[in-house]
Amino acid sequence: MSALIVRALRAGVDGKEILRGVDLEVSSGQVHAVMGPNGSGKSTLAHVIMGGPGYEVYDGSVTLDGVELLGMPTWKRAQAGLFLAMQYPTEVPGVSLADAMAAALAPQGRAPADVADLVATEAVRIGMSTALLERPLNVDLSGGEKKRNETLQLAVLAPKVAILDEIDSGLDVDALKAVSQRVELITNEVGLGVLVITHYSRLLRELRPDVVSVLRNGRVVASGGPELAEELEATGYEGYGETPA
């Protein structure tokens, strides 16, 4: 049983505070949705947990199975069992998916040939053409292909907790289904914990959340069960977290 626990997290960019004391948890087998309007700090939360460049942490803690992640380099957070599916996966010219996955699993003693087999198997499961596997990472991929590619990597790397940062944004219906079904299966089969960050509730009809939190102005302003997502769909974010600026 694993747990990612975020406590009183304050962080920002260039001295400007964006997260103003965030508390949330996700544990194995659980899907925790973080919803919020644009500018609420959702993506900042994802990157601060992963240790992205340009973000500053002012206070608080982020632990995975009791181990403090803040201060750890990004790659060690990943090796500790954290994964971030990015909203805008970066193009890395000349670096193939196969080479990246082999390099990512090498510290765990996995042989490149086994990794290649695993990548090929997962490509079929996520409905990604094997012809795309030889392409440089995210170069000339459509929006849907990029998100399938992120999900494929999630499946190959088998983290304890995955953060999906707006994996649904701009996604066609088929890709949305493929991505959410694959994540749901991993959650049920091996107990992946999922922190799913989204603006819309569309994704949450495919990937059923156990907990929904609403982020607004850098704070969690409401928390509840799946019904909260439906309510937000109907009413919008107005009325949540009307905190004095």
Binding segment for other proteins among 4-12, 24-32, 67-75, 219-227 (CB under 8 A)? 67-75
In our burial notation (b when 16+ CB lie closer than 10 A, e otherwise), range 74-93 reads eeebbbbbbbbbbbebeeee
Q: Are 216 and 228 in contact (CB under 8 A)?
A: no
Task: Give Cα separations from 111 to 37, 66, 105, 116, 132 (angstroms).
Answer: 43, 30, 8, 9, 22
Q: What is the enclosing helix (H) or strand (E) of 182?
A: helix 173-190
Count the residues of the shown chain that bind other proteins, applying the rule CB under 8 A: 31
Among 71, 107, 225, 236, binds other proteins (CB under 8 A): 107
Residue 157 binds other proteins (CB under 8 A): yes
Under rule CB under 8 A, which residues in 31-50 are in contact with other proteins?
50
Among 14, 38, 66, 93, binds other proteins (CB under 8 A): 93
Give the Cα separation of 217 and 209 in Å (integer): 22
Among 66, 73, 109, 244, binds other proteins (CB under 8 A): 73
Least distance (Å) between residue 59 CB and other proteins: 23
Can you give the binding site for other proteins, defined by CB under 8 A? 50, 52-54, 73-75, 78-79, 83-84, 86, 89-95, 99-101, 103-107, 136-137, 153, 157
